């Protein structure tokens, strides 16, 4: 089985011992993306909507670096610092995916890296 690391400057560099993405066979596994601006490596300004947009933009960068796109995403996990942000996150999230929504799980967690409000990971078909 083919296994390849995906690395792009369109998403923040890994802040730990992991890869932005891994191609395994016909799948791309995208590591959890927080709302770090790839240019500054700092959290974007704003609330949950701005942070969700940046996290998803980071995912798009990794998907495209691997030769795939949002239309090929089959599973997403959303980690929220506060489940009260679910509706606002969902509003932004829905604008990124077409009519064929991927499977998804949303979980409230006690804390995220760099005190982000959201982290999102994804699995896509190549």
**pLDDT for res 42:** 96
> CA neighbours within 13 Å on the CB side: how many for 54?
23
Q: What are phi and psi of 119, to 5 degrees?
A: -140, 140
For residue 25, pLDDT beyond 80 = yes
Cα–Cα distance measured from residue 12 to residue 36, given in angstroms and rounded to the nearest whole number: 6
DSSP state of 70: G
**pLDDT for res 98:** 82
**15-19, 80-84, 110-114: which has the minimum mean pLDDT?**
15-19
pLDDT, tens digit, for every residue of 36-92? 999 999 999 999 999 999 999 999 999 999 999 999 999 999 999 999 999 999 999
Kindly tell me the burial class for residue 45, based on how many C-beta atoms sit within 10 Å of its own C-beta (0-12, 13-18, 19 or more): exposed
Tell me the domain boundaries of the chain: 3-125
> CA neighbours within 13 Å on the CB side: how many for 75?
8
CB 43 within 8 A of CB 35: yes
Cα–Cα distance measured from residue 35 to residue 41, given in angstroms and rounded to the nearest whole number: 9
36 contacts: CB under 8 Å, gap ≥ 6: 12, 15, 42, 43, 44, 54, 58, 114, 116
Report which of 99, 15, 102, 85 is spatially closest to residue 50, judged by C-alpha positions.
85
Helices (H), the chain: 48-65, 86-94
- From 3.30.1330.40, 3.40.50.300, 3.30.1600.10, 3.20.20.70, which CATH number describes the 3-125 domain? 3.30.1330.40
């Amino acid at each position: 089985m083919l296994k390849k690391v995906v690395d792009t400057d369109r998403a923040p560099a890994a802040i730990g011992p992991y890869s932005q993405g891994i191609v395994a066979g016909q799948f791309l596994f995208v590591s959890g993306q927080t709302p770090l601006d790839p240019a500054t490596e700092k959290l974007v300004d704003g609330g949950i909507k701005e942070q969700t947009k940046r996290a998803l933009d980071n995912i798009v960068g990794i998907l495209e670096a691997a030769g795939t796109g949002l239309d090929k995403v089959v599973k997403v996990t959303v980690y929220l610092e506060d489940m009260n942000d679910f509706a606002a996150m969902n509003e932004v999230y829905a604008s990124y995916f077409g009519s064929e929504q991927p499977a998804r799980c949303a979980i409230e967690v006690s804390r995220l890296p760099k005190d982000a409000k959201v982290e999102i990971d994804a699995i896509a078909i190549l």
